Amino acid sequence: MHKKKLLPFCLVIAAVVVGCQDQDKTQNSDNPLLAVYDSPFQVPPFDKIKSEHFRPAFKVALEQHNLEIDSIVNNTEEPTFQNTIVALENAGTLLNNIETIFSNLNSANTNDSIQAIDTDLAPVLSAHTDEIALNEKLFARVKSVYDSRNTLSLDAEDTKLLEETYKGFVRSGANLSADKKEQLKKINAELSVLTTTFGQNLLAETNAFELVIDNEGDLAGLPEGLRSAAADAAKAKGKEGKWVFTLQNPSVMPFLQYADNRSLRKKIWDAYQKKGNNDNDYDNKKNVVKIANLRLEKAKLLGYPSHAAYVLEESMAQNPANVYALLNKIWTPALEKAKAEAADIQKEIVAAKDTFEVAPYDWRYYQEKIRKSRFALNEEEIKPYFSLASVREGAFATANKLYGLTFIALNNVPVYHPEVEVYEVKDKDGSHLGVLYADFFPRESKRGGAWMTSYRNQATKSGKRVAPVISIVCNFTKPIGDEPALLTFDEATTLFHEFGHALHGLLSNVKYRSLAGTSVSRDFVELPSQIMENWAGDPEVLKTYARHYKTKEAIPDSLIAKMEKAGTFDQGFATVEYVAASLLDLDYHAATTPIPADVNAFESAAMKKIGLIDAIIPRYRSTYFQHIFSGGYSAGYYAYIWSEVLDSDAFAAFKEKSLYDAPTAASFRKNILERGGTGNPAEMYRLFRGTDPNPVYLMKKRGLN
């Protein structure tokens, strides 16, 4: 997942910040957020930043940004590309720097104080953004430059920046009447609070649940590693001699996969699938309704029939109809395969002389049994070959073979948590390319999932490339005792995925920060990440990085053969749960009339409409669908499978020649990774591939053809 939380008209992120106004210097002289960063590579001074620094820093930054905007608005010279568009691009550097650090800490290492600031700050930042976006004099200057664009000597990047700036104002309501602008401001302020609350509720719900086991017999079926991790978790919570399982994915998912005790599987599953749906202080049902309906109200105010129509206008898909068409095309064969998988599970249940119908908390358990019997493949047999260190080095080695990059561990830069790793990234000529942070393990201060983000976007200043500072954040299985962190193959693939996003940010080579790296449409941004997953599982690549953590021996051919044979196993389930969530997202956001107040009934009707079987639920139910209600993917969760059409086709370009074919890699870097959002995604892809993507490769990969 790519995570980006930026102010729409303050897109410049920089770690080297200017000093404040003279009158602020004394008052804020000890605030590290307001100082010039003196750490190596000018990364954020995490070792000095405290929660109490944020409120005063935001105050100064907001004031400074207002002065910068006033300077543009009150410029007595005729509007030009430089004094208006570029000046606007460069305004808000300090604010964006602080907001980026704050947002990332709030996601990866939050606390009560940061969450309280976030709640208070959300409407303030929303109002500040609206004041800029709806500033009539500022928009008049932008429009003046835009209207004269055909007479200006602008290159392609300049033209793209001008177009995106103008379009950003229009899509933010610049053409609305005064009363409608006030209405829009109120909607934006309310949405900012609701989406913040949604995420905080979800984190609280996730942390609140514990499955405490004090009878060792109830651990039957669980691998030793999972038992040890649960014992460590219990000890950390003062419950020594017991075992604690949580709703963090590395705990709940393997429990569902291996635990023989069906009643306990049901207990933890019920807690998982009811997050935010327990009629308590952290309930998200009302938030879901309010968010969806406010988004619809906003879209109609801006002249669109639905929120999805508004969002998708800026995507490769262009409109909801095209997204529904793709998802429905995939849904039919995927559902048929899932039904066949459910029938196989039911046979296992009957063979065990049980009479119950397969339920969602049975699926992973019985599919693991079928995987073992059908393919002689045990995931616990795989994990010793996928230590975190081996997988990380495998990703680094792949980038080296493709693009000539090297990664050097840094121990002299500040980090926001002791578990965070930092690397200097160098290009093939040895020049500094950027800095990469990596944060791999779950904790109560971190939200679930995996994502990439940036602390500084790449840009060009005075003819020199400003190097990016990129971060990937995951929630992988922790080390146990003296053993290293041993990943599932799914976790290994996730690391390659987020690393692909990181490469998109690191290899960016454009002029303007707002167009750099991952500043592309949602259904294009997953191409660089998902194509890396193909290398993660390729037999040739596996032999180079998947090594037993004890013997250092490469993964044997026999085990690779089993993995390949089982490659499309359970893909009916995986595809159906994903597409169901994507369709649920669209049903919320393609609606042209307000959704009803009963979220559970709405979701149930949406799933009944597409024929989802009872044994599977959507990957994310409404009340914990963070991607769309708190994470920037509203009307965009489909993007993963849209991009998978691209990545499957793009990887085929390599396979047609060789895994590390130099000309193909150079073309992918030049036309995709380096260009950020400076071009049309479809045209950029055709420049790389020579043609439009062929969906046949996706269907083949998922075993749906």
Convert the pLDDT of each residue in 417-432 to its tens digit: 999 999 999 999 999 9
Q: Which residues contact residue 436 at a Cβ distance below 8 angstroms, ignoring those fewer than 6 apart?
A: 407, 422, 423, 424, 425, 470, 471, 472, 502, 506
Same-domain check for residues 140 and 220: no
Which of 254, 273, 292 is the C-terminal boundary of a domain? Answer: 273
Same-domain check for residues 217 and 106: no
Q: Which residues contact residue 100 at a Cβ distance below 8 angstroms, ignoring those fewer than 6 apart?
A: 5, 6, 13, 453, 454, 455
Where do the H-state alpha helices sit in 453-595?
A: 489-506, 522-525, 527-537, 539-545, 557-565, 571-589
What's the number of domains the chain is made of?
3
Can you give the pLDDT at residue 10? 30
Rounded to a whole number of angstroms, the distance between the first and last alpha carbons of the chain is 27
* Exposure of 323 in the CB half-sphere (CA atoms within 13 A): 31
Convert the pLDDT of each residue in 361-379 to its tens digit: 999 999 999 999 999 998 8
Q: Per-residue b/e over 439-469, b at no fewer than 16 CB within 10 Å? A: bbbbeebbbbbbbbbbbbbbbeeeeebbbbb
Q: How many CB atoms lie within 10 A of CB 416?
A: 19
Residue 8, pLDDT above cutoff 60: no
In a domain, 349, yes or no: no
Same-domain check for residues 216 and 159: no
Same-domain check for residues 59 and 166: yes
Same-domain check for residues 142 and 252: no
In a domain, 392, yes or no: yes
* Distance between CA atoms of residues 310 and 237, nearest Å: 47
* Distance between CA atoms of residues 257 and 361, nearest Å: 9
The vertex-192 CA angle with 187 and 198, nearest 5°, equals 120
Q: Which residues contact residue 112 at a Cβ distance below 8 angstroms, ignoring those fewer than 6 apart?
A: none
111: containing domain: 22-175
Which of 175, 193, 226 is the C-terminal boundary of a domain? Answer: 175
Which of 258, 273, 288 is the C-terminal boundary of a domain? Answer: 273
Convert the pLDDT of each residue in 313-327 to its tens digit: 999 999 999 999 999
Convert the pLDDT of each residue in 594-652 to its tens digit: 999 999 999 999 999 999 999 999 999 999 999 999 999 999 999 999 999 999 999 99
Same-domain check for residues 162 and 231: no
* Distance between CA atoms of residues 295 and 304, nearest Å: 11
Average pLDDT, the chain: 94
Report residue 480: phi and psi, to 5°.
Answer: -125, 120
Same-domain check for residues 409 and 550: yes
DSSP code of residue 424? E
In a domain, 116, yes or no: yes
pTM for the predicted model, two decimal places:
0.94
Residue 496, pLDDT above cutoff 80: yes
Convert the pLDDT of each residue in 648-696 to its tens digit: 999 999 999 999 999 999 999 999 999 999 999 999 999 999 999 999 9
In a domain, 653, yes or no: no
Can you give the pLDDT at residue 22? 36
With cut-offs at 50, 70 and 90, classify the pLDDT of residue 3.
low
* Distance between CA atoms of residues 191 and 291, nearest Å: 6
With cut-offs at 50, 70 and 90, classify the pLDDT of residue 37.
confident
* Distance between CA atoms of residues 638 and 642, nearest Å: 6
Same-domain check for residues 392 and 460: yes
CATH number of the domain that residue 72 is part of: 1.10.1370.40
What residues are labeled active site? 498
In a domain, 356, yes or no: no
Same-domain check for residues 171 and 234: no
Same-domain check for residues 149 and 256: no
In a domain, 194, yes or no: no
Same-domain check for residues 244 and 169: no
Can you give the pLDDT at residue 25? 45
In a domain, 546, yes or no: yes
Same-domain check for residues 538 and 411: yes
Convert the pLDDT of each residue in 46-56 to its tens digit: 999 999 999 99
Residue 704, pLDDT above cutoff 90: no
With cut-offs at 50, 70 and 90, classify the pLDDT of residue 40.
confident
Residue type, 481: G
Residue type, 347: K
Q: What is the mean pLDDT of residues 514-518?
A: 98
Q: What is the mean pLDDT of residues 17-35?
A: 58
In a domain, 44, yes or no: yes
Token reading at 172: 């933010």
